[in-house]
Structure 1
Amino acid sequence: MTASTQVHRRTHVKADGRKLFLYGWRPHELPLTEELEPGPAPQPHLRWHPLRGEWVGYASHRQERTFKPPAEFCPLCPVQPGGFPGEIPFADFEIAVFENRFPAFHPDAPAPPELPIPTAPAKGQCEVVVYSAAHSGTVAGLPAERRELMVRVWADRYRDLLAMPEVAFVMPFENRGEEIGVTLHHPHGQIYAFPFVPPAVAPLVEAFRKGPVLTELRDRIGGAYDIAGNDRAVAFVPPCARFPSEVWIMPRAFHPGPWTFDDADVRAFAAVLGEVVARLDGLYGKPMPYLCILYAAPRGEEAHFHFHIQIYPFLRTADRLKYLAGCEQGAGMFLVDGLPEQMAARLREVTP
């Protein structure tokens, strides 16, 4: 761990008005290189689904977003002087965050079209979090101090985005692996700031309003399902896992989000996150395709919503994907082939 815990943030306004934040343990002072040409004007909006009782987002400009470019044209790599322009017009960086060029939500979203169903402007924010200047790598392969910086970056983005009056819920996440549709291989995640609490999050809010459901679950299961942990954070396979080798990571003490972490919490949480990803990658001897979702308190729920991460792996064996088919998609009921307690035992056997 670096001797300093001060995070430096440099803000750069791109040619099309989007903001780029450069985070690091050291001040970022490199000169600007090559800027991308401005992209299409975002036109996202929401339409109400009367049968499901939820909003559906529409953003037709996303159809033209970057799709599996060669490494030399990766838009997330640092841009060398005279080189191919990308999203980060500097020759190096530690962690970069920028407003998405193809957002599903935007603070200046235009008025929606008039339709025979309710519509609304898709107010909010979409950001991309680039973990490293290196084109390849994983969260597990990052140095410990970089993972700690990542946790602090998440905390900073939560603070900024939840301060926006139109934002109700902020969700950092990572889509990993072509198997789940990833189109850029550079190690990165995203952050969506929603103008409402999404349908999948509302039941979590209700559960936490009724009581400390996550800590009560931990008390009941003890350490039987644990796969990694320290004095501040713990990772376990939930006994109700919906995905094969699903893992949850939580601070042992109550925190509504990483913005309330102290230095020890940051170090502990980052260490467990790295170990979990390493164990998942070691399970079948190759990078695990997964969704990694951060669940922190929506606006107004800070008193009882316990921050945690849920990781949904998409391999059920070394060569078989977990598909969300009729029962999962049509009924919302997940079917899992392996038992969570068996998977917890297997993950404990993996050498990270």
Structure 2
Amino acid sequence: MTFITPTLLSDGRELIYFDAGRAASGLHRAPEEDQRGLPPRGPSGSARYDALTGEWIAVAAHRQSRTHLPQADQCPLCPSTSDNHSEVPAADYEVVVFENRFPSFGPDLGDLPAHPGWGTTATASGRCEVIAFDPAHEGSFGSLAPERARTVIDAWAHRTEALSALPGIKQVFCFENRGADIGVTLLHPHGQIYAYPFVPPRAAALAAKAAQFLEAAGGRQTLMGQVLASERDAGDRMVVEGTHFSAFVPFAARWPLEVHLVPHRQVADIAGLSGTERDELTEVYLDLLGRVDALYPTPTPYIAAWQQAPVDDALRRSGYLHLQLTSPRRAVDKLKFLAGSEAAMGAFINDTMPEQVAAALRAATPAAPAAAGSPPKDPA
């Protein structure tokens, strides 16, 4: 059980506390007032339609002024103190979600034009949220104690369901950027949740292929279900197998380090997972991240992207929740950069053999899970 306590920041943005420890003790939270007296929120950015690709591009120039690698005593995600009134007014918290002060989409909500063309500009409606995984200043999801990681999963589920119900939202995306090599601007363990007014290109491609496969199979089998079964039968790219979840390096991996974490049961999004499935997801996901970090002597940069089904009911029937964990790290001191073929043409060339990466991950020994209330194991 988790206590969920919503409140508002001084500029009207929503903030929500997720407290499992308090729930266990029966202690409800009384939200503290935001002392900063922030000015009213600015307007949403804009979205421009690319007639050559059929894609929407968000223009969010206001994000140039967002916080960049602050000192620990000025971190906007740490609990507030008398010297640092942060984005979280409380003196302590477990997991907290709030609307991004520098959003790429929103705060306005609504639909994009139905028939855009060259020169079409619209309001970049939608919502962008920040989820702080822990009050500690440094770390990542992999440095969390299992109890805290489980609360984060519940928060992802809650926000996925709530954001999917907002007007004009077509896709909800939960993700974590980890490491300076990925472009992280805050060391605090956190992720983000985007609610898009359109289905992004990558999600649209996955959804279209999944729908096509389901129709060809007469509704009897999903594409990800077949891929998961095939990977488990082959075995040489499997990393972890549990009762409800398995992780494998995909046959056609794009990145030097890429792992997919997939539930054994078809479910459209994180909100659809049962309590038992969320319990095992906590264990398997932390184990996987531990193996990723055990490959090298320093923490591995990555993007953890939860691929959820679009909100559209027609696409949810074939949609299949899964995590795509990718890293540009191809050696101890080498990164893969997206150059000509990848960046300009979208044609990926992998520098590693998926079977060898899977074998290395299987052989890696994850560090012991963090204890509740202990400091983080690694800098993010």
Category of TM-score, reference length = shorter chain: over 0.9
Distance 1:116 1:249 in 2: 39
- The alignment status of 1:157 with 2:159, answered yes or no, reads yes
Q: Any stretches of 5+ residues in structure 1 without a counterpart?
A: 1-5
- 8 Å CA contact 2:10, 2:34 repeated in 1: no
Look up the SS of the partner of 1:136 in the other structure. Answer: coil
Distance 1:221 1:67 in 2: 41
Structure 1 runs (4+) deviating above 3 angstroms are 29-36, 109-112
Once the two structures are superposed, the pairs formed by residues 121-270 of structure 1 within 5 Å of their partners are 121-209=123-211, 210-211=213-214, 212-222=222-232, 223-270=235-282
- 8 Å CA contact 2:231, 2:238 repeated in 1: no
CA-CA distance at 1:89 after TM superposition:
0.8
Distance 2:110 2:283 in 1: 42
Distance 1:138 1:281 in 2: 11
- 8 Å CA contact 1:172, 1:189 repeated in 2: yes
- 1:126/1:85 Cα in 2 relative to 1: closer, same or farther (>3 Å)? same
Distance 1:155 1:258 in 2: 5
Distance 1:274 1:202 in 2: 29
Distance 1:219 1:199 in 2: 26
CA-CA distance at 1:33 after TM superposition:
6.2
Once the two structures are superposed, the pairs formed by residues 1-352 of structure 1 within 5 Å of their partners are 6-25=1-20, 26=22, 27-29=28-30, 31-32=32-33, 34-35=35-36, 37-38=38-39, 41-80=42-81, 82-108=82-108, 117-209=119-211, 210-211=213-214, 212-222=222-232, 223-299=235-311, 300=313, 301-352=315-366
Aligned pair count reads: 344
- For 1:92, the aligned partner's letter is D
Give me the CA root mean square deviation: 1.8
- For 2:12, the aligned partner's letter is G
Distance 1:333 1:271 in 2: 34
- 8 Å CA contact 1:45, 1:111 repeated in 2: no
The answer for the alignment partner of 2:378 in structure 1 is none
Look up the SS of the partner of 1:338 in the other structure. Answer: coil
- For 2:19, the aligned partner's letter is G
Look up the SS of the partner of 1:201 in the other structure. Answer: helix
Distance 1:111 1:230 in 2: 41
Q: Any stretches of 5+ residues in structure 2 without a counterpart?
A: 23-27, 215-221, 367-380
- For 2:241, the aligned partner's letter is G
Deviations 1:4-33 (A, max 9, x none): xx1111111111000000001123336446
- 8 Å CA contact 1:167, 1:193 repeated in 2: yes
- 8 Å CA contact 2:110, 2:167 repeated in 1: no
Distance 1:28 1:320 in 2: 46
- 1:108/1:226 Cα in 2 relative to 1: closer, same or farther (>3 Å)? same
CA-CA distance at 1:200 after TM superposition:
1.2
CA-CA distance at 1:42 after TM superposition:
3.5
For normalisation by structure 2, the TM-score amounts to 0.87
- For 2:54, the aligned partner's letter is G
Distance 2:168 2:110 in 1: 14
- For 2:186, the aligned partner's letter is L
Look up the SS of the partner of 2:62 in the other structure. Answer: helix
Distance 1:141 1:90 in 2: 22
Distance 1:163 1:43 in 2: 20
Distance 1:34 1:308 in 2: 40
Distance 2:157 2:87 in 1: 22
The answer for the alignment partner of 1:3 in structure 2 is none
- 1:258/1:109 Cα in 2 relative to 1: closer, same or farther (>3 Å)? closer
CA-CA distance at 1:138 after TM superposition:
2.4
Deviations 1:154-201 (A, max 9, x none): 110011000002100000111111111111110100011001101111
Distance 1:160 1:332 in 2: 33
Distance 2:110 2:321 in 1: 33
Distance 1:350 1:35 in 2: 46
CA-CA distance at 1:40 after TM superposition:
5.3
